[in-house]
């Protein structure tokens, strides 16, 4: 037999479980209140024996519902809670409608019917926790309307009765609390998954670095030293080393949570690593807005394309990402031939907008700046510095 797979608990069940336990305590308190009201009012009933039968039904249902809600490990917890909620409404509405069977009109027109308002609130609370504030408010209005109809108080007296405001307020408040608890539980589980993925990624990265990456780096270094036919082997090993480093850095990045509005900029820049392109990023995630990250990455790609086209066949490029807390700094430096004086202005006058639009235009749109630190120098390479404010 295959071992049973552990499944992640339903966020709704885990989040609202404390509320359902609190409901049981509230049910016990309101049941005691209802029994006390029965003892105080039974002398005014015309059919006292039948009234005790109804109170007994209330006690029996309270016990059954408590036992059902106590089964936290049932195969379908949501279905069990839905059945309890439905039973609450049937019992409450049935007892309210049965009030004329035990008391005359003069009494129940001016007093609360069976059951009392507090025990009736159990049905409203169950609906609110199960389905949210709309269900809670609807349940409160239904029970309040039934009470008002049975007491025939659809005149001016309805505004002096606190039954409807109490039930509706309880349904609204508990429904909002249940929804908030569910959202908090979902966010907690998402954070746990992201943390676990990050820890696993770091563990795999260490293992890969201690084994495969070191071997590939050794083959590349020795192949370059030997020369001749081994140069091709060194080149291939260097390509695979870069590809493997890129794969390790990308694992568990922003893919871990596609619905998030921010992404980690590091794997987006690391994806541009190549045998002649070295990318260095911080050890901690650099999370920024998706659009900002895409624009920075695009500007970096444009700068690296210029290196490939104009810096010379042997030029190497170095990309450095820094996060100061208030701004992001991306430096792209190469050891190529450099840019002659006035070349950028000349290219722009000729209609070549690669730098002005793909680089400086993007950074300006982000509220940042793209500065060419080596403008007008020849033979010393080229260095761009992108600065983007964190805000």
Q: Is 263 helix (H, G, I), strand (E, B) or coil?
A: strand
Give the C-alpha distances (Å, rounded to integers) separating 264 from 277, 278, 369. Answer: 20, 18, 21
pLDDT given at position 328: 94
Distance between terminal CA atoms of the chain? 56
pLDDT at 56 (0 to 100): 92
pLDDT, one tens digit for every residue, the chain (391 residues): 444 444 445 655 667 878 888 888 888 898 998 888 888 888 888 888 998 999 999 999 988 888 887 765 556 778 888 888 999 999 999 998 888 888 887 777 777 777 777 888 899 999 999 888 999 999 999 998 888 888 777 765 556 667 788 888 888 998 898 888 888 888 888 888 878 877 776 677 666 656 676 787 778 778 878 887 788 787 777 777 766 666 665 554 444 444 557 888 998 898 888 778 888 998 888 999 988 998 898 889 888 888 887 777 788 899 999 999 899 999 999 888 777 665 565 655 554 444 556 788 888 888 999 888 875 566 678 888 999 998 7
- Sketch the domain layout of the chain as residue ranges: 11-187, 261-391
* Res 314: pLDDT: 80
CATH architecture of 261-391: 2-Layer Sandwich (3.30)
- Tell me, what's the pLDDT at 139? 92
Give the Cα separation of 289 and 311 in Å (integer).
32
3-state secondary structure string across 51-63: HHHHHHHHHHHHH
Q: Which helix (H) or strand (E) element contains residue 85?
A: helix 77-97
């Amino acid at each position: 037999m295959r071992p049973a797979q552990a499944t992640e608990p339903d966020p709704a069940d885990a989040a609202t479980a404390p509320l359902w336990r609190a409901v049981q305590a509230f049910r016990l308190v309101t049941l005691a209140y209802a029994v006390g009201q029965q003892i105080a009012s039974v002398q005014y009933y015309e059919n006292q024996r039948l009234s005790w039968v109804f109170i007994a039904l209330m006690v029996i249902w309270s016990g059954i519902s408590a036992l059902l809600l106590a089964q936290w490990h049932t195969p379908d917890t949501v279905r069990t809670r839905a059945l309890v909620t439905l039973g609450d409404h049937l019992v409450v509405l049935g007892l309210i409608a049965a009030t004329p069977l035990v008391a005359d009109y003069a009494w129940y027109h001016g007093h609360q019917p069976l059951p009392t308002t507090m025990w009736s609130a159990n049905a409203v609370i169950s609906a609110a926790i199960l389905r949210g504030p709309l269900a809670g408010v609807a349940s409160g209005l239904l029970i309040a309307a039934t009470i008002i109809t049975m007491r025939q108080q659809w005149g001016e007296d309805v505004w002096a009765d606190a039954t409807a405001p109490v039930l509706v307020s309880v349904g609204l408040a508990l429904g909002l609390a249940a929804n908030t608890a569910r959202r908090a539980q979902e966010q907690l589980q998402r954070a746990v998954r992201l943390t676990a993925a990050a820890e696993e990624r770091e563990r795999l990265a260490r293992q890969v670095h201690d084994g495969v990456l070191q071997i590939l780096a050794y083959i590349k270094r020795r192949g370059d030293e030997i020369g001749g036919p081994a140069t091709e082997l060194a080149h291939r090993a260097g390509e695979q080393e870069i590809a493997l480093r890129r794969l390790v850095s990308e694992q568990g990045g922003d893919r871990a949570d596609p619905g998030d509005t921010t992404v980690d900029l590091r794997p987006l820049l690391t994806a541009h690593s190549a045998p002649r392109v070295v990318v260095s990023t911080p050890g901690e995630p650099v999370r920024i807005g998706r659009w900002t990250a895409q624009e920075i990455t695009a500007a970096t790609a444009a700068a690296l394309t210029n290196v490939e086209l104009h810096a010379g066949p042997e030029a190497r490029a170095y990309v450095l990402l820094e996060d100061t807390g208030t701004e992001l700094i991306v430096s792209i430096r190469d050891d190529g031939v450099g840019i002659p004086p006035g070349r950028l202005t000349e290219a722009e006058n000729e209609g070549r907008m690669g730098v002005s639009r793909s680089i400086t235009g993007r950074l300006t749109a982000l509220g940042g700046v793209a500065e060419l630190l080596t403008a007008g120098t020849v033979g010393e390479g080229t260095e761009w510095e992108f600065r983007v404010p964190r805000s």
